[in-house]
Amino acid sequence: MSGYLKNIYIKVLLLSLMVFPMFIGGCAADKEGGFSIYLTRDDIPPSRMEALSHVEIANSPLISEDDVIYYNVQTHELKLTPEAFGRVSELDVPTSGRSFLVCVDKSPVYWGAFWVSYSSQSFDGVTIWKPLGSELAEIVTIELGYPSSSFYGGEDPRDNETVLQSLDKAGKLITAISLDDIDKLPSSFKGYELYSWQKAGEWHFTLITGTNRSKYMEEIVSEEDVISEIGWIKVHVIGIEEIKTVMAKLPPGESVFWYAGLMESVSGTDLVLDYPPQSVISEIEEFAAGLGLELVVP
């Protein structure tokens, strides 16, 4: 080989060595993987899913890992990008549900069904309720059963280790959100309930989402908080200024029913729900009125 051809050969070889790693890197970056939610390829209805030994996923995910802002382990809420939330909101979901598969690296881990809140059909599996209206937060919740969790049968798959590890690796997993993480608490159809009691000379307060059911004393006095941007709220604080801080996060016009005086005590303690002195009640009433809240003290 002449010296001229040898120089050309060396230059081509060096150029190929430089380009090849770039090509490999580009392929790796385009690889699909991680947490995702797919529809079924053949749009298999929920009523047929359990009878099938194998189900193919659709060509592309409805929700990819990049679409997830966070997954809250405590509430099983997925906060999505506006684009992904829009796709879920616009999804065609019949009253009999639409099947989906929760996957990691395109491998199905568990299945469930998108559902609509006006359906008259119950379902005993995992559900994601299709958003209706214009929610302030782009959040969907992976729930159990429809119309309530009492219809669910079997084990809870939402804490699957493979799924949580994938989300954690991507930096999308949170164990809970705190009051400082949100500007406003969500509106509650039945308002909020406020409970108070005295312990070691200090006044304790719990603000909790209003429901038809009676709350348990252990539930009320528990110091574990549950805070959702769209759903269940249970916040425990100590001190008048702290409960004011919590109430300041409620939407104007929200109703708060202050319950106390229950005679049942917590097992092993002498805790009894009670109202603070009238001067404290008046102070909190005035503060609530300034926020535009309806504080009801029976």
* pLDDT tens digit sequence for 238-263: 999 999 999 999 999 999 999 986 54
Tell me the mean pLDDT in the region 17-40: 54
Can you tell me the mean pLDDT for 84-104? 97
Residue 34's pLDDT band, with cuts at 50, 70 and 90, is very high
134 has pLDDT over 80: no
Q: Are residues 156 and 110 in the same domain?
A: yes
Same domain, 188 and 169: no
Residues 170 and 41 in one domain: yes
Query: Number of C-alpha atoms within 13 angstroms, CB side, residue 271?
Result: 22
* Torsion of the alpha carbons at 70, 75, 76 and 82, rounded to the nearest 10: -40
pLDDT digit string, tens, across residues 188-243: 989 999 999 999 999 999 999 998 888 888 889 999 999 988 888 999 999 999 99
Task: Indicate if 70 and 190 belong to the same structural domain.
Answer: no
**Residue 11 clears pLDDT 60, i.e. is over it:** no
- Same domain, residue pair 152 and 94: yes
Same domain (yes/no): 217, 156: no
Please enumerate in sequence order all residues whose Cβ is within 8 A of that of 296, keeping only pairs 6 or more positions apart, or say none: 255, 256, 257, 258
Q: Is residue 24 one of the residues assigned to a domain?
A: no
Same domain for 84 and 213? Answer: no
Range of the domain at 207: 179-296
Q: Are residue 214 and residue 195 in the same domain, yes or no?
A: yes
pLDDT at residue 119, as a whole number = 96
Number of domains in the chain: 2
Q: Is residue 11 part of a domain?
A: no
Does one domain contain both 147 and 200? no
77 domain-assigned: yes
* Average pLDDT of the residues in 30-58: 89
Mean pLDDT lowest among 30-34, 37-41, 146-150:
30-34
